[in-house]
Chain A
Amino acid sequence: DSGVTQTPKHLITATGQRVTLRCSPRSGDLSVYWYQQSLDQGLQFLIQYYNGEERAKGNILERFSAQQFPDLHSELNLSSLELGDSALYFCASSAPASDRGRGGYTFGSGTRLTVV
């Protein structure tokens, strides 16, 4: 157990639907990062939050949004789902001294999303 908790582990939903993926960072970590891994693709950065504020944004689709709450957990909302959104979605967190990349990130076990 890495200390980063992601729920649910698996999600199957239909095209056009909306889902919410949840991440609780490791205790004491202020930064949360979301990554997407599609078939045959590497880990693609979506977005970073630090203590409730957005810090960096990748090629995140407009149909996707995220937020980090006061208790530091984060949610990734995916709407108007398409078949191509099927992927493994990872959340990672980092300690305050490491949020600018000077320390390793701790990954959760991921949420596998299947859109049918």
Chain B
Amino acid sequence: DIQMTQSPSTLAASVGDRVIITCRASQSISSWLAWYQQKPGKAPKVLIYSASTLQSGVPSRFSASGSGTEFTLTISSLEPDDFATYYCHHYNTGSDTFGQGTKLEIK
């Protein structure tokens, strides 16, 4: 099975900061990658699919790139609502895998 490794596991940042979260696949997954934001007690929210396509309604400060094995999620200027846990997700394979998550905390 393909493994998805996210880094960092925890990230402390301030409002206005630019942050980057990385997801690495153990083998090439083309562009079958999504990014989610999850807040405590809530369902995950899709931010990005197909590695770089912004889901409708998601603010443009979120962007993502990558293909093959290396992927990044960038938040250009953190807002208070962005402090949450973020997951990458390799999908559409019948052996889907999530990254372990990145908790974005207020510094």
Q: Do A and B bind each other?
A: no
**What is the interface of chain A, defined by CB distance below 8 A to chain B?**
none
**What is the interface of chain B, defined by CB distance below 8 A to chain A?**
none
